[in-house]
Amino acid sequence: MVSGPAAEVAGVDGGPVHRTLAAEITGVLDRRPGRTPRVLDVGGGSGAWAVPLARLGCAVTVVDNSPNALAALHRRARDAGVHELVTPVQGDVDALADVAPAGGADLVLGHGLLEVVDDAAAAASALATATADGGAVSVLVTGRYAAVLARTLAGRLAEARALLVDPDGRLGPGDALRRRLDAGALRTLLESAAALRVEILQGDGVLDGWVPGAVRDGGPAATREIAELEHLAAAAPPLLDVATRLHALARRV
């Protein structure tokens, strides 16, 4: 249960990723009272994760290769009153060491990153290198089996088969994603390639997308019930692999 100021990052619905990050920030504050938590958000774009973390008092560096995204980040941070805590840096994970010191961050985010880079193992290793001893890496990736189910339900069986049998879970050379991962592949990537210890492996968007619209439109009570169901499903092994996204929090030890 997250309480205190860090609960703010959990957002309105208290989704599993938000709750996990809130708990991690609480842990950093408990371990190092009086010190500003240092967060590195790689590929963080316009600040969907960075700005809420900065509102908690974290010093957040966002590395992204898009000048337009970084400009939007600057505006978003200024509107939220946290621009002094957010540092935009143009760059990418392939040259992360050039813009982020080794061991410099208490928490490193790589959300929506590993499925688009050329070399996922090298990217995961770079995230780990930027993390302080005892710090954590948070990754959020597109799930393979949710994509298979979605195509199957839409009647696009050839695409479903391609996603299922391709080693990287791709539709083919024209696929915008380099890979889609399952839970086992994500764990192996972080533990073997990056020498991290996975502490949390959960789904994000496990059952939420399957809830009928009539139920979703049922007001605040229905919203709470859906959120509670999603919370229970997030860590359930039989459901984990059909999540739209997979989330892992891994520790540098």
The answer to pTM > 0.85 is yes
| Tokens encoding 245 | 């996204």
pLDDT score for 5: 45
Closest Cα partner for 12 from 253, 230, 238? 230
DSSP 3-state assignment of 47? coil
pLDDT score for 6: 47
Query: For residue 193, what is the DSSP state?
Result: I
Q: How many domains does the chain have?
A: 1
Asked if residue 172 belongs to a domain, the reply is: no
Contact 226, 208 (CB under 8 A): yes
| Tokens encoding 142 | 């597109």
Give Cβ neighbours of residue 213 (< 8 Å, ≥ 6 apart).
none
Asked if residue 39 belongs to a domain, the reply is: yes
Closest Cα partner for 36 from 73, 84, 74? 84
Helix, strand, coil % over all residues of the chain, rounded to 5: 45, 20, 35
Alpha-helical segments (H) within 4-113: 16-31, 50-55, 67-79, 96-99
End-to-end CA distance of the chain: 25
| Tokens encoding 159 | 């695409």
DSSP codes of every residue in 141-162: EEBHHHHHHHHHHTT-HHHHHH
Q: How many residues does the chain have?
A: 253
CATH of the domain at 55: 3.40.50.150
Between strands 38-42 and 59-64, the pairing is parallel
DSSP 3-state assignment of 93? helix
Cβ count within 10 A of residue 149: 16
Answer left, alpha or beta for residue 45, where phi above 0 means left and psi between -120 and 50 means alpha: left
Give the pLDDT of the chain (253 residues) as one tens digit per residue.
444 444 444 443 458 899 999 999 999 999 889 899 999 999 999 999 999 999 989 999 999 999 999 999 999 999 999 999 999 999 999 999 999 999 999 999 999 999 999 999 999 999 999 999 999 999 999 999 999 999 999 999 999 999 999 999 999 999 999 999 999 999 999 999 899 999 999 999 999 888 999 998 889 999 899 989 998 999 898 899 999 999 999 999 8
| Tokens encoding 180 | 């889609």
Asked if residue 214 belongs to a domain, the reply is: no
Tokens 């210890």 belong to residue: 197
Asked if residue 89 belongs to a domain, the reply is: yes
Asked if residue 28 belongs to a domain, the reply is: no
pLDDT score for 14: 57
| Tokens encoding 60 | 């957040």
| Tokens encoding 13 | 């619905």
Asked if residue 193 belongs to a domain, the reply is: yes
Asked if residue 30 belongs to a domain, the reply is: no
Residue 86: give the domain boundaries.
Answer: 35-143+181-204+241-251
Using CA atoms, how far apart are residues 130 and 139, in angstroms rounded to an integer?
Answer: 14
Asked if residue 12 belongs to a domain, the reply is: no
